[in-house]
Structure 1
């Protein structure tokens, strides 16, 4: 992470802290613009490139830092799916608002309607990933794979519950099938 990215992350963390302190409920658009950075998924993607072959250049890291549509979509899929399964627990412990609360406050929607709307947003972001991965880009396709895979991992982690915080037998099974069980050829 370069100093510009560190400043951007810190600035967005401060925005979230201010929202929490002032009990400010951002619009969904405000929330998305801040949380796409504070989720740190862009950094996770950039760090996945470390140690890869000579295809990785300084421009690759600059590309990720601009949050192009495929990176932004992947980060928002992860953020939204996490919000859906964790927002109740986070609200109980005084966490800042999630996309669920932002949408409810902005539109007057019920919790169920907010879930449905955010799930539709997830679906829309998958369409962005599909579109962006099928068209020619300045970035070679092998470098898009970690971006896509992050969204896929989040789908597995947060599909039914918070598999990251409360990993159980299902997550253990996924990890075993990935790392322990032999691949079928």
Structure 2
């Protein structure tokens, strides 16, 4: 009985709450007409029958996937073509079909250092302020690109492959950098150990300092990243040269033992040892004297007026300081499981105790 009473109540309420249609019969509504176009598909997908069976489509999909797998085999010995293939597959959103092939291809690229986090950490040490976030992102990408290029020329490619890569690089600024790489490749293949001065003319440019810091400058505010600032960096002034000397020599000293294990272009340590007939320890000590002289140059140049924003000059100072973090005792950039790992966790993972 209770249920029947409740149902009757609902029906009554519906009648009460529902307006009479007669109330709207005499109402004239001036409606806006949007005039939307009809669907170009029409009823095609409703009336059209499948032109091919599902089994045929699955078979065709497998054929196409096998064609792509064969592409991995065809480019397996070419780093650039392999990376272009992977990049294209990912851009098309098809990488989930080829996870095993991509993983195997990337495993073959062990001669290239994967140092994205380390690159960001390096940029963060140079300028940590929130306002420099964009500059850090841009410079991180550029530093990683320089690292890949350096490893291809230095470790992976033959001289002939390096020449082909250089020809393929069209941007003028990159042509300048890769020409220095080519010079070092020729020295390596000819077992040529140049005089220290000749070596430094090339190697302080091939270290990529100017390119890295121009990219950093690109991400800074317009008042800092002026045309004059870029031209100043590109002119390789004394303070920039001094910073490049510090990076080059400290890098060579800390990576000397590791690079002796494979064929490698002569370092500044090798050049000094041959030119002056000294031991490795003596050569390193003398070269560190050049580092001290470079620091003196930096300090002197910091006192000279350039007409540029102090932020531009400070980039050189901070970059030289960051070298102490990267190359103080070991090549922490190449061997990240050393001090670099500790620094990354301190800066990016573990909270600062208060």
TM-score exceeds 0.5: yes
- 2:329 corresponds in structure 1 to 160
- 2:266 corresponds in structure 1 to 97
How far apart are 1:112 and its partner, in Å?
0.9
Between 99-108 and 11-20, the greater mean CA deviation after superposition: 11-20
- In 2, distance between residues paired with 1:100 and 1:169? 23
* 8 Å CA contact retained: 1:5, 1:65: no
The equivalences for 1:1-185 within 5 A come to: 3-55=171-223, 56-168=225-337, 170-179=339-348, 181-182=351-352
Aligned residues: 184
- In 1, distance between residues paired with 2:352 and 2:210? 31
Instruction: Report Cα offsets for 1:9-61 as digits up to 9, x if no partner.
Output: 12211211111111111111111110111111111111111121122112221
What TM-score, normalized to structure 1? 0.90
Instruction: Report Cα offsets for 1:134-165 as digits up to 9, x if no partner.
Output: 22113221111221111111111111111111
SS at match of 1:97: coil
- In 2, distance between residues paired with 1:40 and 1:24? 22
Between 33-42 and 131-140, the greater mean CA deviation after superposition: 131-140
Please provide the CA RMSD for this pair.
Answer: 2.1
What TM-score, normalized to structure 2? 0.49
* 8 Å CA contact retained: 2:332, 2:338: no
- In 2, distance between residues paired with 1:82 and 1:72? 15
Distance 1:149 1:98, change over 3 A: same
- In 2, distance between residues paired with 1:7 and 1:172? 33
- In 2, distance between residues paired with 1:150 and 1:95? 26
How far apart are 1:172 and its partner, in Å?
3.3
* 8 Å CA contact retained: 1:133, 1:141: no
Q: Determine which structure has more spread, i.e. the larger CA radius of gyration.
A: 2
* 8 Å CA contact retained: 2:269, 2:280: yes
The runs of 5 or more residues in structure 2 that have no matched partner are 1-141, 143-169
Larger relative contact order, structure 1 or 2 (CA cutoff 8 Å, min sep 6): 1
